């Protein structure tokens, strides 16, 4: 095309994406997912697409391959290598998929066929499109395995997907995308499902792969700090429309739109650390616990939570942090150790605890939508603890419910609604109100913000901090997200494989000298800063060379 | 192959144990009567002498567990006992009828299995469109139809009005295969219709489940042809659930045979069982019941073993 | 709430069948056992569906037969349903060895085809109505047990149930206020399916001559009485057989609607 600049690889014009949905019990109808989005991408460049869930970023990514999931329909123009692929027909699309454009998904574990060896799947696209002989492709794959630091590059291809770890599979999928030497790779949240310490390795591997091969890429994520590490340019999306597009640097340091500014400043909550008091509200002494009689998941853990303060328990999957919560609540009686609530020693098992013990210790869950009975109204959900613990009924109860709703910044008219009619953030607020209704001294918050979009999560954190001041309630805050920890904790406990590796006031825990694991964990959290990834990887290389 | 061999061996052992438990249950099932078998055979007006004789003859004076082990021991040696109604050995009678029943079930399976899988694929291909809706509508209707309704409607039209097939499915050894097939055409059709809908619906669900996997999308995004996506990626993972569907429905078919045999007066096991339930001929009922249950348990066992063997996680352990 | 056409048809027909069963003596033009004409008379103004194998009015007999079928099937369903769902919910909430023992026993019963097991038992039992209801209800309660246990186990591990337990709620509150409201719709739909199964099962037994005994008769028994006419081109047996199918389909339409309307308990998939 004459109008195309020579180095333009992808040019999406006025893309509109619609889908037919089939809600149970209702008539099928159409919804618009993406409306009037245009973007261009030059050869060898990386464009980050960022937005909350439902922003339509994944569907835009897949549209570059002319692909729509399920009933999705694409309209508009998608020009790739000088032709509009939406006009080309099925054969044309098949020729470009897996050859000119390849794809890396969020869950490599699900995206590899469980019945076939990795190598068989990795060379498949290249063979199909005649990019090279099997031998050539396999050699290229082995070389890439090595470059992306996969163990045993010569033999790992002979394994089946379930024989390889999640982080390794994600890198293997990147290799699969690279082997046919495409012009463009779509990365669709490739590190979202991984722990932070794994994420940084995969991120570094992806960045290295992009740089050494010179392939162009579209990098889709909800995490601005992550996308800032790999992208030249970033496009911000919301509700299926473009908000703004700029160089990565400008987006971070000089955002133009309010929405982008909010995304950049997320987690910049200022919270002054309080000093520990003489009498903790919760004391956990030497707790060990196991599931069944075999698997020990907690080893000799001791922590304290002080009145009106927040203890953050941080760790990756398998660290035992959620098990600690189960032990404290009495759902999983410990095999050893003691839990004291104020002056009283708590019974190990839930059944033996007094109503007063139960009332003073409340819990908020990660998934607000399954933490509320879908057949009960907001009024019933918040009202039950009032009735159960304080015997409130009728008008008094209703007045108190409304008071609590006001406290969580939800006004009139929610009292008779069902959970299904609320947004994600509202659901979590109702759960907070339910916990507050019991007038507890301690609330256990189990990953309460990790299922929410960053801005919504921010709102919840601010609310929790405000309520802590007003009600003088203590939090035991379980999370894998260090940014959250920095924002709200007074003291921090770092857990790794069931043990406490570091524990103390926030300023001490987050200040050097660090133990190895805390160092690894802290340095792995992406920061909203261009060049952060290079700096960390260079540091790590130096350290390992120094040893 | 280590762990998989172990799992299969375990499953077979479990199957045998289950069969043993089933034999106990069938035996107990014939003992739960308030009076006893002799009483119910001879009726209320029987003389005490006649009752005592019959009890002696049936060995009813021994305790239940002794009778059970005697019965089980006999079966394990191939002795199914003697029919009360005519005093004949049960074994040889069952052998011929079992052959006939399997012949009927086999041909029903030959028609129904490929047809169900084909239609299931079609429903997936045209999901949420009219062929799919039609198929699920027919399914809904056909699981509501009793076998004898389908049977007599087919007889009424194809045997009586059109005279294409006989209304009574008589087979004997001297018939040629073609003659036999003509004789069993209608029963096969009924059995096919009875299991078809079920099998189709389950096949549809199984294939949809595989087709919605992320690895199918991966294959599509590699630019593979629809045929290659299905043959290389969907098929290897769909075998096990489909075999499972087929086995469950074959088990269902074996039971459906009972009613169909009665409708068409077909000389098989089902007819034999029903006749002897009416005659209260307990030894025959126990033997045929055990064989039916054994086939049923066996087919379910095969389904489980196929699922174990085709699971890559078990075939290639970490 | 909008009612789809199929569900409306199902509801109307089901209601019609039940009303007919309740008011049988007032609706039926003739008595059940009354011989009013010749053998297998064709349909006429006096006998809308003709007469049966010994000259009784087929329509009247159908109405009375429907009553028998529906009453027995309903009682068997009530038995299987209340027993099965109670045991299933209990097993799910108590768990542990109680659950293990009950579930393995149900597995064992279900490893024998229901019809075969029923035939084995009926070979020694007197075939009376209470025995029929008991055998059908007990055998079928295994299926209700499995479903209600599975549904309850799923709900029991959800966070809102845990939240109730942490609050200190008793077992009865957990079962009746947290679990049951969420398990109700699949269970109600299952009740419809169990009823259909009971109708088909009873009809099959009667057709085989092992269900309702003469002179009383249900639809399955009427098929048996009139089946010999088929080979002479007399379709009398098709009427009761068709009635069974119609009843089963109507209830199925309703059950299907209930199931579809409420299959979104856990909310739609995001994305």
* Residue B116: alpha-carbon gap to chain centroid: 17
Return the HEC string of C141-153: HHHHHHHHHHHHH
Cβ contact (<8 Å) for C116 and B258?
A: yes
pLDDT over 70 at C224, yes or no: yes
What's the confidence (pLDDT) of residue A286?
A: 92
Measured CA to CA, the distance from residue A55 to residue A270 in angstroms comes to: 29
* Distance separating alpha carbons of residues A50 and A221, to the nearest angstrom: 5
Q: Please judge whether B273 and C126 are an interchain contact, meaning their C-beta atoms are less than 8 angstroms apart.
A: no
Q: What are phi and psi of B211, to 5 degrees?
A: -65, -20
Output the CA angle A494-A499-A505, nearest 5 degrees: 30
DSSP 8-state secondary structure symbol assigned to residue A275? P
Residue A323 has pLDDT above 80, yes or no: yes
Cβ proximity of A367 and A466 under 8 Å: no
Following CA atoms A505, A506, A510, A511 in sequence, which dihedral angle do they give, to the nearest 10 degrees? Answer: -50
- ipTM for the predicted complex: 0.82
Q: Note whether A114 contacts B313, CB cutoff 8 Å.
A: yes
Tokens of B277: 């339930």
Mean pLDDT, residues B67-76: 84
Q: What SS3 class is residue A408?
A: coil
Overall domain count for chain B: 1
Number of domains observed in the structure of chain C: 1
Please check whether residue B59 touches C, CB under 8 A.
Answer: no
Chain-chain contact of A110 with B220 (C-beta, under 8 angstroms): no
Q: Which residues pair with A188 in a beta bridge?
A: A220
State whether A350 and C165 contact (CB < 8 Å).
yes
- Domain for residue B142, yes or no? yes
Nearest CA distance, C3 vs chain B (angstrom): 18
- pLDDT band, very low/low/confident/very high, at A281 (cuts 50, 70, 90): very high
Q: Which chain B residue lies closest to C237 (C-alpha atoms)?
A: B152
Q: What is the pLDDT of residue A78?
A: 93
Instruction: Decide if B17 touches C, using CB distance below 8 A.
Output: no
CATH homologous superfamily of domain A43-66+87-264?
Answer: P-loop containing nucleotide triphosphate hydrolases (3.40.50.300)
- Which residues in chain A touch residue B132, judged by CB atoms under 8 angstroms apart? none
Q: Which of A10-19, A110-119, C28-37, C206-215 has the lowest mean pLDDT?
A: C28-37
Residue of C14, C109, C113, C253 to mutate for B, most B C-beta atoms under 10 A: C113
Half-sphere exposure of residue A184: CA atoms within 13 angstroms, side-chain side: 28
Residue to substitute from C168, C181, C271, interface A, most A β-carbons within 10 A: C168
Q: Residue C167: pLDDT band by 50, 70, 90 thresholds?
A: very high
Hey, is the C-beta of B237 within 8 angstroms of any chain A C-beta?
yes
pLDDT at residue C265 in the model? 38
- Nearest to residue A103, comparing CAs of B229, B222, B210? B222
pLDDT tier for residue A359 given thresholds of 50, 70 and 90: very high
Q: Tokens 């021991």 correspond to what residue?
A: B73
- Chain segment A100-109, per-residue pLDDT in tens: 999 999 888 8
- Specify the pLDDT at position B43: 67
The dihedral sign for the CA sequence A311, A315, A320, A325: positive
Mean pLDDT of all residues in chain C?
85
Q: What is the CATH number of the domain that holds C81?
A: 1.10.3720.10
**Is A72's Cβ below 8 Å from some Cβ in C?**
no
**How many B×C Cβ pairs under 8 Å?**
149
- Give the pLDDT confidence of A63-75 residue by residue, as tens digits: 999 998 878 889 9
User: Does the structure show a pLDDT above 90 at A451?
Assistant: no
What Rg, from alpha-carbon coordinates, does chain A have?
26
pLDDT tens column, A111-157: 999 989 999 999 999 999 999 999 999 999 999 999 888 889 999 99
| Mean pLDDT of the A390-395 span | 91
Confidence check: pLDDT of A463 > 70: yes
Residue C184 CB contacts under 8 Å (≥ 6 apart), including other chains: none
Query: Considering only CB atoms, which chain B residues are within 8 Å of A98?
Result: 221-224
pLDDT tens digit string along A417-444? 899 888 888 999 999 999 999 999 999 9
Q: In chain C, which residues have their Cβ closer than 8 Å to the Cβ of A374? A: 182, 265, 267
CB contact under 8 A, B128 and A97: no
* pLDDT greater than 70 at residue A363: yes
Q: Domain spans of chain A?
A: 43-66+87-264, 308-332+352-517
Residue A38 carries which DSSP code? E
Query: For residue B222, what are the domain limits?
Result: 94-278
Give the pLDDT band (50/70/90) at residue B44.
Answer: low
Q: Identify the pLDDT of residue A306.
A: 92
Task: Retrieve residue B50's tokens.
Answer: 């006649």
Tell me the DSSP string of B20-53: HHHHHHHHHHTT--SS-HHHHHH-TT--HHHHHH
Residues 156-195 of A with CB under 8 A from B: 160, 162-163
| Percentage of the residues of chain C whose pLDDT score is greater than 70 | 95
| Half-sphere exposure (Cβ direction) of A428: Cα atoms closer than 13 Å | 23
Per-residue pLDDT at A25 exceeds 60: no
Q: For residue B102, count other CB atoms closer than 10 A to its CB.
A: 16
Architecture field, domain A308-332+352-517: 3-Layer(aba) Sandwich (3.40)
> B316 exposed, middle or buried (CB, 10 Å; 0-12, 13-18, 19+)?
middle
C125 CB within 8 Å of a chain B CB: yes
Please state the rounded mean pLDDT for residues B128-143: 80
Are A43-66+87-264 and A308-332+352-517 equal in CATH topology?
yes
More confident residue, A277 or A279: A279
CB count within 10 Å of CB B8 equals 16
Q: How far apart are CA B89 and CA B84, in angstroms?
A: 10
| Whole-number pLDDT of residue B53 | 81
Q: Which of A21, A115, A129 to mutate to test the interface with B (most CBs of B within 10 A)?
A: A115
Residue B128 lies in a domain: yes
The domain in which residue C120 lies consists of 67-270
Mean per-residue pLDDT for A478-490? 87
Phi-psi category of A376—alpha, beta or left, where left has phi over 0 and alpha has psi -120 to 50?
Answer: beta
Mean pLDDT of chain A: 89
pLDDT of residue C264: 42
The CA distance from B230 to B212, in Å, is 12
CA distance B146 to chain C (A): 6
Residue A383 confidence (pLDDT):
94
Please check the confidence at residue A268 and state whether its pLDDT lies above 70. no
Q: Which residues of A touch B133 (CB under 8 A)?
A: none
Whether the pTM exceeds 0.90: the reply is no
In a domain, C14, yes or no: no
Whether residue B144 and residue C249 make contact (CB cut-off 8 A), yes or no, is: yes
């Amino acid at each position: 095309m004459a109008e195309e600049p020579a180095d333009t690889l992808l040019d999406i014009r006025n893309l509109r994406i619609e889908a037919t949905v089939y809600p149970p019990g209702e008539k099928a109808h159409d919804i618009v997912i993406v409306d009037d989005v245009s973007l261009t991408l030059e050869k060898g460049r990386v464009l980050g697409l960022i937005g909350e869930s439902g922003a339509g970023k994944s569907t835009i990514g897949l549209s570059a391959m002319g692909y729509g999931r399920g009933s999705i329909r694409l309209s508009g123009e998608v020009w790739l290598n000088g032709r509009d692929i939406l006009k080309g027909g099925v054969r044309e699309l098949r020729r470009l998929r897996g050859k000119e454009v390849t794809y890396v998904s969020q869950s490599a574990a699900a995206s590899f066929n469980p019945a076939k060896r990795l190598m068989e799947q990795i060379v498949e696209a290249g063979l199909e499109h005649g990019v090279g002989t099997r031998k050539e492709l396999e050699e290229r794959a082995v070389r890439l395995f090595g470059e992306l630091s996969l163990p045993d590059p010569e033999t790992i291809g002979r394994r089946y997907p379930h024989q390889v770890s999640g982080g390794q599979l994600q890198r293997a999928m990147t290799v699969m995308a690279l082997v046919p030497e495409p012009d463009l790779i779509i990365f669709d949240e490739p590190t979202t499902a991984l722990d932070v310490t794994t994420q940084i390795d995969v991120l570094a591997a992806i960045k290295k792969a992009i740089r050494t091969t010179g392939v162009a890429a579209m990098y889709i994520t909800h995490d601005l700090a992550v996308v800032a590490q790999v992208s030249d340019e970033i496009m911000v999306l919301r509700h299926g429309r473009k908000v703004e597009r700029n160089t990565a640097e400008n987006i971070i340091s000089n955002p133009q739109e309010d929405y982008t500014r909010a995304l950049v400043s997320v987690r910049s909550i200022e919270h002054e650390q309080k000093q520990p008091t003489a009498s903790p509200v919760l004391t956990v002494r030497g707790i060990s616990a196991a599931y069944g009689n075999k698997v020990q998941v907690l080893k000799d853990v001791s922590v304290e939570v002080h009145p009106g303060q927040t203890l953050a328990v941080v760790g990756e999957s398998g660290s035992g942090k959620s098990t600690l919560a189960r032990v404290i609540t009495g759902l999983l009686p410990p095999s050893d150790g003691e839990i004291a609530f104020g002056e009283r020693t708590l019974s190990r098992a839930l059944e033996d605890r007094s109503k007063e013990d139960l009332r003073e210790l409340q819990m908020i869950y990660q998934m607000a939508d399954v933490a509320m009975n879908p057949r009960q109204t907001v009024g019933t959900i918040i009202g039950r603890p009032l009735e159960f613990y304080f015997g409130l009924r009728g008008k008094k109860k209703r007045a108190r419910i409304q008071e609590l709703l006001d406290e969580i910044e939800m006004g009139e008219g929610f009292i008779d609604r069902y959970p299904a009619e609320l947004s994600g953030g509202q659901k979590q607020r109702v759960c907070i109100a339910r916990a507050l209704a019991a007038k507890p001294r301690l609330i256990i918050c189990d990953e309460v913000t990790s299922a929410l979009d960053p801005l919504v999560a921010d709102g919840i954190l601010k609310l929790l901090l405000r309520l802590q001041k007003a009600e003088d309630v203590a939090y035991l805050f379980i999370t894998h997200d260090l940014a959250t920890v920095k924002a709200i904790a007074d003291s921090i406990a770092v857990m790794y494989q069931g043990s406490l590796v570091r524990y103390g006031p926030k300023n001490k825990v987050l200040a050097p000298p660090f133990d190895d694991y805390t160092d690894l964990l802290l340095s792995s959290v992406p920061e909203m800063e261009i060049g952060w990834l290079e700096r960390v990887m260079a540091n790590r290389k130096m350290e390992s060379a120094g040893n | 192959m280590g762990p998989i061999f172990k799992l299969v061996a375990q499953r077979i052992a479990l199957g045998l144990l289950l069969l043993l438990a089933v034999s106990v249950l069938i035996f107990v099932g014939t003992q739960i009567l308030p009076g006893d078998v002799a009483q119910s055979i001879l009726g209320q007006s029987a003389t005490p002498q006649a009752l005592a004789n019959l009890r002696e003859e049936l060995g009813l004076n021994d305790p239940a567990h002794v009778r059970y082990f005697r019965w089980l021991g006999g079966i394990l040696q191939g002795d199914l006992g003697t029919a009360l109604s005519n005093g004949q050995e049960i074994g040889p009678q069952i052998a011929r009828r079992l052959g006939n029943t399997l012949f009927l079930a086999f041909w029903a399976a030959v028609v129904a299995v490929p047809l169900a899988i084909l239609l299931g694929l079609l429903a997936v291909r045209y999901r949420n469109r009219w062929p799919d809706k039609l198929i699920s509508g027919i399914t809904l209707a056909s699981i509501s139809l009793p076998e004898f309704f389908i049977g007599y409607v087919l007889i009424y039209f194809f045997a009586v009005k059109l005279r294409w097939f006989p209304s009574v499915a008589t087979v004997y050894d001297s018939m040629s295969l073609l003659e036999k097939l003509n004789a069993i055409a209608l029963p096969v059709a009924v059995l096919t219709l009875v299991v078809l809908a079920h099998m189709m619906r389950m096949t549809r669900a199984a294939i949809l489940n595989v087709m919605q996997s992320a690895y199918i999308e991966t294959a599509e995004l590699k630019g593979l042809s629809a045929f290659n996506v299905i043959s290389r990626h969907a098929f290897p993972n769909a075998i096990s659930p489909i075999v499972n569907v087929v086995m469950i429905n074959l088990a269902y078919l074996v039971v459906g045979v009972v009613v169909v045999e009665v409708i068409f007066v077909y000389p098989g096991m089902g007819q034999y069982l029903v006749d002897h339930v009416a005659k209260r001929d307990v030894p025959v009922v126990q033997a045929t019941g055990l064989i039916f249950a054994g086939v049923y348990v066996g087919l379910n066992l095969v389904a489980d073993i196929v699922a174990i063997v085709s699971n890559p996680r078990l075939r290639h352990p970490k | 709430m909008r009612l789809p056409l199929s569900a409306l048809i199902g509801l109307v027909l089901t209601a019609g069948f039940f009303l007919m069963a309740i008011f049988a003596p007032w609706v039926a033009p003739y008595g059940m056992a009354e011989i009013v004409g010749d053998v297998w008379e064709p349909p006429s103004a006096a006998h809308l569906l003709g007469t049966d194998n010994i000259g009784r009015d087929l329509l009247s007999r159908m109405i009375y037969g429907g009553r028998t079928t529906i009453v027995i099937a309903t009682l068997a369903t009530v038995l299987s349903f209340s027993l099965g769902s109670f045991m299933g919910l209990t097993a799910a909430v108590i768990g542990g060895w109680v659950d293990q023992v009950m579930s393995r026993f149900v597995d064992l019963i279900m490893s024998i085809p229901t019809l075969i097991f029923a035939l084995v038992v009926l070979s020694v039992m007197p075939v009376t109505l209470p025995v029929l209801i008991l055998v059908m209800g007990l055998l079928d309660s295994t299926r209700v047990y499995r479903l209600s246990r599975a549904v309850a186990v799923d709900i029991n591990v959800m966070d809102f149930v845990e939240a109730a337990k942490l609050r200190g709620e008793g077992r009865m509150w957990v079962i009746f206020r947290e679990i049951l409201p969420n398990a109700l719709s699949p269970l109600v739909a299952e009740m419809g399916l169990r009823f259909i199964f009971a109708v088909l099962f009873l009809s099959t037994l009667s057709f085989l001559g092992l269900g309702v005994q003469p002179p009383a008769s249900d639809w399955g028994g009427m098929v048996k009485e009139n089946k010999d006419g088929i080979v002479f081109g007399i379709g009398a047996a098709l009427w009761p057989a068709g009635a069974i199918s119609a009843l089963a389909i109507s209830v199925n339409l309703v059950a299907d609607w209930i199931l579809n309307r409420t299959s979104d308990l856990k909310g739609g998939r995001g994305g």
